[in-house]
Amino acid sequence: MRLESKPGDWQQNEKLTCSLPVFYPIFMKHTRNFCIIAHIDHGKSTLADRLLEHTKTISEREMQAQVLDDMDLEREKGITIKSHAIQMDYHYNGEKYTLNLIDTPGHVDFSYEVSRALAACEGALLLVDAAQGIQAQTISNLYLALDNDLEIIPVINKIDMDGAMIEVVKDQIIELIGCKDEDILLASGKTGIGIEEILQAIVQRVPAPTGDPEAPLQALIFDSVFNSFRGIIAYFRVYNGTIKKGDKVRFMNTGEDYEADEVGILKLGLQARSQVDTGDVGYIITGIKTAKDVKVGDTITLTKNQATEAINGFEEVKPMVFAGIFPVVTDDFEELRECMDKLQLNDASLTYETETSQALGFGFRCGFLGMLHMEIIQERLEREFNQTVITTVPNVSFVAYTTRNEKLIVNNPAEMPDPSKIDRVEEPFIRAQIISTPDYIGNIMTLCLGKRGMLINQSYLTPTRVELIFEMPLAEIVFDFYDKLKSSTRGYASFDYHPLDYRQSDIVKMDILLNGDKVDALSALIHRSRAEDFGRKLCTKLKELLPRQQFMIAIQAALGSKIVARETISAMRKDVTAKCYGGDISRKRKLLEKQKEGKKRMRQIGNVEVPQEAFLAVLKLND
Ligand SMILES: Nc1nc2c(ncn2[C@@H]2O[C@H](COP(=O)(O)OP(=O)(O)OP(=O)(O)O)[C@@H](O)[C@H]2O)c(=O)[nH]1
């Protein structure tokens, strides 16, 4: 994200409406491409539903049915109907307009995809919750929209709520984007207030798309979905030219040629058309079977009559967080591999390679866009593929330079070379933006400085809202930062971050030993200043999480050969079922079954049984 864009520049987009080319056809004049941006839970989905209902794109009955159908359909066919993009017809002043609503994923893990979706629009509805006011993602999404030169329509949403502070939030918005009082719309996605005004504003204020229908085809891919019958369906926005069914097309960044088996527009489902024109949003099916071959941000052109340039801004999305995923039962490794292969077919941003751990056997080292992405993948493996897996400590990607000046990318603590062979290590830094009421500045500073953050800027957005900008190591955010921020500000602070660069850092490897055996899956890479404290807390947490056994268990944390912390779990004296002997047999069975259930996610390491929670203990360290 470029941060140079200044809030207040927002009205400059008028230039777009005035510079229409002479060949500007009527269908483009009546097209509007827009998205809805907001902080999480400010009511995006609910408002989108009302827009679809109001324009009769989806009837009330379908809306109900749709919500119910969605999960099954998505599972069976991989089609997401309401998200991604949908076209509405809207009649205004006796003329029919085509409004394309492009949905954005909204979470920082997927911010590259958000920026591509925004690039396919000319305008954005900026929703702000009337009770909560401006939050961190309101601002970061606004900046993304400004970077893409979008016309911003500010909307105060949820005005039906008792706690709505319309005037206060109006002032916040005026301060932030420099608009006029009358530019701000008032709405409630729940009751339907303001929906007609929003649709009118989209037609009146969002510029119609520009472009040359006669020029060579340039269509930007802003999203793709996987359909098990039809392969990958790519969603695009046509900037110049026309795409027709049967055309031979080229994906400019991957350099691959395909045939357009089907093209069309996105209504409640896919609607095939003979062609999709300049300025419009549509889909293409080419028989591509894997998500890897369709990259968000790529440009589609024709094989003959190619565009000379791709639409700029294509970027390979890089994983930010890495963790091991292992089958609970070692024999299930091949089955897990098949599931990972299938999962990657429809999620190109998941990367994985085989990993061997002494403790856990064969598994995969996976790369994720962020912690949310990691949770989603784990959940999908369990729900859709019925796998029971153990996930290990997540870590960021470090860069180690050896004394021979080789550069190594370290995505796994086990790959970190011996300290004697390392010249220096670099770690990724992020720019964190925190917005809060001024009462909590002290707590936020303590938290962020404790996480090796540096305060870069502090500014008051309004007298009651302060924005703090820090530069911090990504590794510090990955663990428990967000929860800590919420608890130290009683939920008042909101937070967003963006990657910055790699910086030299004193990183060491912390090993954990159980009864003297090093458990590689519990190793972590950590800053030296935090290592001893981290080791102590981790040992204490592991003591809580490891079940007692018939013998004593020593838990040790070590930096190289130096033990920095130790805890002991004493031996269990009695058999858990002993008290049931001679008693009720069904009670005994229940107890044994309960134990079996608990074993599901246990791994035997040496002679110690380690439950899944222990592998992620790092995420739950006490203060
Ligand atoms: N009172 C009131 N509640 C609303 C309104 N719009 C949405 N909500 C509620 O606010 C919550 C969040 O709404 P969503 O539409 O899911 O918000 P969202 O921005 O799409 O959320 P994410 O997709 O999670 O970012 C839900 O519980 C809604 O019922 C509104 O206009 N008034």
Please give the Cα distance from 44 to 418 (Å, whole number): 50
Last residue of one domain, picked from the residues 302, 334, 358:
302
477 sits in which H/E element: helix 474-478
Higher pLDDT, 498 or 2: 498
pLDDT digits (tens, 9 = 90+) for 454-478: 999 999 987 888 999 999 999 988 8
- Its pTM stands at 0.73
In a domain, 419, yes or no: yes
Q: How many other CB atoms sit within 10 Å of the CB of residue 386? A: 9
Ligand 1 atom with least separation from CA of 38:
19
pLDDT digits (tens, 9 = 90+) for 133-146: 998 888 878 888 88
Same-domain check for residues 273 and 290: yes
Please list, in sequence order, all residues whose beta carbon lies within 8 angstroms of the beta carbon of residue 520, skipping any fewer than 6 positions away.
Answer: 357, 358, 359, 413, 414
163 sits in which H/E element: none
| CB distance 157 to ligand 1 below 6 Å | yes
In a domain, 599, yes or no: yes
| CB distance 67 to ligand 1 below 6 Å | no
- Say whether pLDDT at 13 is over 50: no
Return the structure tokens found at 170.
């109006």
- The answer to whether the annotation marks 45 as part of a ligand binding site is yes
pLDDT digits (tens, 9 = 90+) for 213-268: 999 999 999 888 877 788 888 999 999 999 999 999 999 988 899 999 999 998 87
The DSSP-derived string for 377-420 is HHHHHHHTT---EEE---EE-EEEEETT--EEEE-SGGGSPPGG
Higher pLDDT, 164 or 595: 164
Among 37, 39, 45, 162, residue to substitute to test ligand 1 (most atoms within 8 Å of Cβ): 45
- The answer to whether the annotation marks 46 as part of a ligand binding site is yes
pLDDT score of 592: 56
How many structural domains are present in the chain?
5
Nearest residue (CA) to ligand 1, atom 11? 41
| CB distance 188 to ligand 1 below 6 Å | yes
Ligand 1 atom with least separation from CA of 189:
31
| CB distance 46 to ligand 1 below 6 Å | yes
- The answer to whether the annotation marks 54 as part of a ligand binding site is no
Distance 176 CA to ligand 1 centre (A): 23
Higher pLDDT, 286 or 329: 286
Same-domain check for residues 383 and 403: no
Longest dimension (CA), the chain: 94
Stretch 543-558: mean pLDDT: 89
Same-domain check for residues 237 and 174: no
- Give the domain CATH number at 425: 3.30.70.240
The rounded percent of the chain whose pLDDT value lies above 90 is 44
pLDDT score of 16: 35
- The answer to whether the annotation marks 246 as part of a ligand binding site is no
| CB distance 40 to ligand 1 below 6 Å | yes
The answer to whether the beta carbons of residues 421 and 443 sit under 8 Å apart is no
The DSSP-derived string for 504-528 is EE-EEEEEEEETTEE-GGG-EEEEH
Please give the Cα distance from 456 to 446 (Å, whole number): 15
Distance 46 CA to ligand 1 centre (A): 6
- Say whether pLDDT at 73 is over 50: no
Same-domain check for residues 558 and 429: no
| CB distance 87 to ligand 1 below 6 Å | no
pLDDT digits (tens, 9 = 90+) for 408-446: 999 889 889 988 999 999 999 999 999 888 999 999 999
pLDDT confidence bin for 369, thresholds 50/70/90: confident
In a domain, 212, yes or no: no
Same-domain check for residues 197 and 239: no
pLDDT digits (tens, 9 = 90+) for 80-123: 434 568 899 999 999 999 999 987 765 666 767 777 788 889 99
Last residue of one domain, picked from the residues 488, 505, 522:
505
- The answer to whether the annotation marks 30 as part of a ligand binding site is no
Nearest residue (CA) to ligand 1, atom 7? 43
Question: Where do we find the tokens 């907001």?
Answer: 38
- Say whether pLDDT at 4 is over 70: no
Same-domain check for residues 71 and 189: yes
| CB distance 194 to ligand 1 below 6 Å | no
pLDDT digits (tens, 9 = 90+) for 299-320: 999 998 888 888 876 677 778 8
Ligand 1 atom with least separation from CA of 193:
31
The answer to whether the beta carbons of residues 215 and 190 sit under 8 Å apart is no
What is the domain range of residue 557?
Answer: 533-620
- Say whether pLDDT at 35 is over 50: yes
